[in-house]
Amino acid sequence: MCGIIGYCGSNHATDILLDGLSKLEYRGYDSAGIALSQNEQRIETIKTTGKVQELRNKVMALAPKNSYCGIGHTRWATHGGVTETNAHPHSNGSVTLIHNGIIENYSEIALELAKVNKFPKSQTDTEIAAMLFSHLYNGNPLETIETACAKLEGAYAFCILFADHPNEIYCVRNASPLVAVENEFGSYIASDMTALIEYSKDYFIVPEHHVAKLTKNGIKLLNFAGNEVKPTMLHASWDADSAQKNGYAHFMLKEIHEQPDSLLTTIMPRIKNGVINFEEEQIPDSLFMNFSNIVITACGTAMNAGLVGKSLIEKVLRIPVSVEPASEFRYGDPIIDDKTLVMIISQSGETADSLAALHLAKERGSKTLAIVNVKGSSIARESDYVLYTHAGPEIAVASTKAFTVQMAALYLICGKIASVRNLLSQEQLHTFIEELSSLPKVIETALQLEPTLKEVSSMLSETSDCFFLGRGLDYPLACEGSLKLKEISYIHSEAYVAGELKHGPIALITDQVPVVAIVTNTITVPKMISNIREVKARGSKILVITDQDMSAYPDVADALIELPKTDELFTPFTISVAVQFLSYYVSLHRGLDVDQPRNLAKSVTVE
Ligand code: AGP
């Protein structure tokens, strides 16, 4: 997703903007640009396709006059191809702006502007917005912003420079994220705190339909009536280092290794005196008493965590759970009501589909519980209740530690429901909580599988197709392993319930199509072995990921990953580490950009 940075202060803006854009690269982008407010009512814009480093080189070459106020942007293309013309910032008349989001009615606005002979140069919705602001500009930025925003439909976070208001940045948002900090050197704004944490840990989220006016003397938060509003301050609990690689080759590898810590900080504060306790989260026990069914809605990896939650809750609590992709939930007229507990899972808390699903659930009267990693994010703020995961910033596009802590949150919720509804004996609950508490150590052990995964990854690194197979609680991990591989190695991979393969997809199996078989679901081991033999008979190479004793089946695996033993309810955590390392090393073998895979964004804040 697009990245936004803005600065006004006593230091040179250029380096602050470029450094900020570097920290926002993880959000995914394909072009970048900055605009610098110069005193003579002039705004200088420099932009380029490609990486932030290319923008930095261009800025060095052009050596713009020193400026103390400017905006910067990394563009993840939604409207129009990857071209310099389409890159932000976009200018029209006195207005220069950058934008994260999608203007849904930009075509209608373009037609209105065409009637007064105003035509865009680019293919973007953003330039249409710049033209609208410029067309409406009456010399008063606040009035203009209010008038323009009343005409805009869709998601936006704008940072706007008005040439006749030098050294001032005006920011406004609707759905798309904007956070702001200030310190003795000035005022800063960005899409997320990764770009600002080094300037201050104290920040606020720009409220929707308010204007944050940045000057070198600080930030004024104004409502559309022009009244100053006091921002709700938040404090980031992590530091700048957390958002850096700290010696790892890639953020993804660092974040895989951070899982013991992130599980510890997510699980342990919620277990007090041997019981699961959500008092600090202000989640009442009554929330878990009064529902008749659960719906989990999310996207991508977060949805795969939801699939684990479904298997777990239905297996342990015998309560029906359905899992809906948020993009389907929001348009699918879901069967939910005031007796439904809707859980929204999102690392960023800004995923547009998941946020829209939340809004629908609330409209239908369902109680909403969010599982979110980014504190103060939209989904966190707008849900009835939120159980934060404490993984710290996840920079790599491929989600790893956020996935395992999302699962941990679901295990905590499962344990809480069991306790509140007396669905497990005290002994069973104690064992469940013991297993949950031991996860950080178990994952520490699983991390020792890294060299083996690095070695076996060569099995997949040349293939163009593969399957991940699993049954029961292993199947959601087959989905997650397949997604990981797809998104960072670009190998076409499919996850299938193993029993389904013979009903068609086995036609795709050849000696060129390796299979990753996940085998920890005890009761179906013999069936999994049969399924593996079926594909092996057709020439496929088999990588088995298991915590079972496979000595009785020496003919089955071409490569074997032996997971540390856990209660079989908890194998999703050890399997996660294996498939994360597997996809990481396959991507590395293929010489790809592990942290910023093509076409992908870290947080999909558009539909
Ligand atoms: C995971 O590896 C992907 N980057 C992607 O599927 C991600 O999980 C999905 O976009 C949901 O993001 P969220 O958790 O921030 O809502």
> Are 267 and 440 a contacting pair, CB within 8 Å?
yes
Residue 554 Cα to ligand 1 middle (Å): 38
Average pLDDT of span 482-504: 95
Predicted confidence (pLDDT) at residue 101 exceeds the cutoff of 90: no
Output the pLDDT for position 603.
Answer: 79
> Are 205 and 376 a contacting pair, CB within 8 Å?
yes
Mutate to test the pocket of ligand 1, among 348, 373, 406, 490 (most ligand atoms within 8 A of CB): 348
Average pLDDT of span 326-336: 94
Output the pLDDT for position 377.
Answer: 86
Residues 6+ apart with CB under 8 A from 563: 446, 449, 520, 545, 546, 547, 571, 574, 575, 578
Confidence band of 77 (pLDDT split at 50, 70, 90): confident
> Are 409 and 210 a contacting pair, CB within 8 Å?
no
Distance, in Å, from the CA atom of 291 to the CA atom of 451, rounded to the nearest integer, reads 46
Give percent of the chain with pLDDT exceeding 70.
100
Distance, in Å, from the CA atom of 516 to the CA atom of 528, rounded to the nearest integer, reads 12
- Amino acid identity for residue 343 in this structure: M
Average pLDDT of span 130-150: 96
User: Could you tell me the strand order of the sheet in which 385-388 lies?
Assistant: 321-325, 293-298, 340-346, 367-372, 385-388
Mutate to test the pocket of ligand 1, among 301, 372, 377, 598 (most ligand atoms within 8 A of CB): 301
For atom 16 of ligand 1, which residue has the closest CA? 346
Output the pLDDT for position 240.
Answer: 76
Instruction: Return phi, psi of residue 526, to 5°.
Output: -60, -35
Give percent of the chain with pLDDT exceeding 90.
82
Chain centroid to CA 501 = 31
Predicted confidence (pLDDT) at residue 247 exceeds the cutoff of 80: no
Output the pLDDT for position 79.
Answer: 74
Residues 6+ apart with CB under 8 A from 569: 312, 315, 316, 432, 435, 473
Beta-carbon neighbour count of residue 153 at 10 Å? 13
> Are 168 and 50 a contacting pair, CB within 8 Å?
no
Task: Say which residue the tokens 């939910």 belong to.
Answer: 336
Confidence band of 375 (pLDDT split at 50, 70, 90): confident
> Are 34 and 25 a contacting pair, CB within 8 Å?
no
Exposure string over 117-132, b if 16+ CB within 10 A, otherwise e = ebebebebbbbbbbbb
Q: Which atom of ligand 1 is nearest to the CA of 348?
A: 15
Distance, in Å, from the CA atom of 196 to the CA atom of 391, rounded to the nearest integer, reads 18
Residue 345 Cα to ligand 1 middle (Å): 10
Q: Model confidence over 248-286: pLDDT tens digits? A: 889 999 999 999 989 998 999 899 889 999 998 999 999
Catalytic residue among 2, 159, 171, 414: 2
Confidence band of 227 (pLDDT split at 50, 70, 90): very high
> Are 156 and 103 a contacting pair, CB within 8 Å?
yes
Distance, in Å, from the CA atom of 17 to the CA atom of 37, rounded to the nearest integer, reads 12
> Are 390 and 362 a contacting pair, CB within 8 Å?
no
As a whole number, the mean pLDDT across the chain is: 94
Joined tokens for residue 412: 């905590």
Residues near ligand 1 (Cβ within 6 A) = 299-302, 346-348, 351, 354, 397-399, 487, 603-604
Joined tokens for residue 164: 């006749």
Q: Determine if the peptide bond prior to 89 is cis (ω within 30°).
A: yes
- Amino acid identity for residue 522 in this structure: T
Mutate to test the pocket of ligand 1, among 399, 485, 603 (most ligand atoms within 8 A of CB): 399
Q: Model confidence over 293-322: pLDDT tens digits? A: 999 999 999 999 999 999 999 999 999 999
Average pLDDT of span 21-43: 88
Output the pLDDT for position 25.
Answer: 85
* 441 noted as active-site residue: no
Average pLDDT of span 90-109: 93
The partner residues of 497 in beta bridges, in order of sequence, read 470
Average pLDDT of span 105-118: 94
Using DSSP's 3-state secondary structure scheme, residue 142 falls into: helix
Exposure string over 7-33, b if 16+ CB within 10 A, otherwise e = bbbeeebbebbbbbbbbbbbbbbbbbb
Joined tokens for residue 341: 């507990």
Residue 474 Cα to ligand 1 middle (Å): 20
**Among 192-196, 304-308, 389-393, 600-604, the range of highest mean pLDDT:** 304-308
* 602 noted as active-site residue: yes
For atom 9 of ligand 1, which residue has the closest CA? 300
Q: Model confidence over 500-557: pLDDT tens digits? A: 998 998 999 999 999 999 999 888 999 999 999 999 999 999 999 999 999 999 989 9
Predicted confidence (pLDDT) at residue 376 exceeds the cutoff of 90: no
Residue 484 Cα to ligand 1 middle (Å): 11
Residue 299 Cα to ligand 1 middle (Å): 6
Of 48, 607, 527, residue with least CA distance to 328 = 607
- Amino acid identity for residue 246 in this structure: N
Distance, in Å, from the CA atom of 326 to the CA atom of 305, rounded to the nearest integer, reads 13
